[in-house]
A = this chain, B = another copy of it.
């Protein structure tokens, strides 16, 4: 959840109030997500999918997608099915990531992880169900967008999740575990794929749905890549500095696992500086869009200043 003390001063200045904006968008996304997955027979699987999908969280991915679509001249309605699908996919990746065969986590967002509640078998199937449903949902629910653009969104999203994206990043991450000589190149690969690819898809798909030109999609992509990496650096820092209560998940896991992270390579202060630099590079990409870029600019600053 987003609280006022979680926001940098600057975002509450002027005529754009990020806190109000985020809270309103979050509410819209929660309602759309709750409506997206029904509660029906066989109850266990729908309950398990809903348990993780509706477990809170910042809803940063759907909000980025909606904001990008609006900035490029589209409406929120055009992007809402894709926004929901992005959160379904993100949730799927968390459920599978938490499994005993993977990160073996018991808590997520302050609640028991999916397999701790429903068992490993159902948790695997809930992830599969959410992933399949995400694509179905975009294809069946998107309105007022030409079909070729919807297909482009599906292709983009599939790539962002699969072996060329999130899944590929997780594999390299798993293979790097316990190794203390991971190069910066490998660390960048992991994060560009594990976190970055889906964040990029959020922003780019919003643009595609609005009919953005290839040149503007390029700008959106560069913006997203930079905030994606900054997001990961901050994640690594928070794993060291935040409390379990703040994050709602186990902290200090990276250090415990002797994982190579940005702070372990650069130190905390330099990591913070690098994240700040990435955010500035990201925001520079949005200059041509003027005042319309305000939400995405504020979101970029929010990412680097968040404390959870």
* Interfacial chain B residues near A138, Cβ < 8 Å: 154
A46 to B125, CA, bound (A): 22
Task: Produce 1/0 per residue, A125-159, CB < 8 A to B.
Answer: 10111011111111110000011101110110111
Of the candidate stretches A54-62, A64-72, A171-179, A293-301, the one touching chain B is A171-179
Main secondary structure of the interface of A (DSSP, over half): helix
Size bracket, chain A contacts: 35 or more
Docked complex: A80-114 residues within 8 A CB-CB of B: 92-93, 96, 99, 101-102
- Whether B42 and A96, one on each chain, are in contact in the complex, defined by CB atoms closer than 8 angstroms, is no
A211 at the interface (CB under 8 A from B): no
B-facing mask of A19-62, CB < 8 A → 1, else 0? Answer: 00000000000000000000000101110010000000000000
Cβ 8 A contact of A158, one of B93, B125, B139? B139
* Distance A131 CA – B154 CA, assembled complex (angstroms): 13
CB of A163 within 8 Å of the partner chain:
yes
Q: Do A158 and B170 contact each other (CB < 8 Å), given the known contacts A42-B175, A102-B124?
A: no
Q: List 22 A-B contacts (CB under 8 A).
A: A44-B171, A45-B167, A96-B124, A101-B121, A102-B124, A121-B174, A122-B174, A125-B170, A127-B128, A131-B131, A132-B158, A132-B161, A133-B158, A133-B162, A135-B135, A135-B157, A136-B158, A136-B159, A139-B154, A139-B158, A147-B148, A151-B151
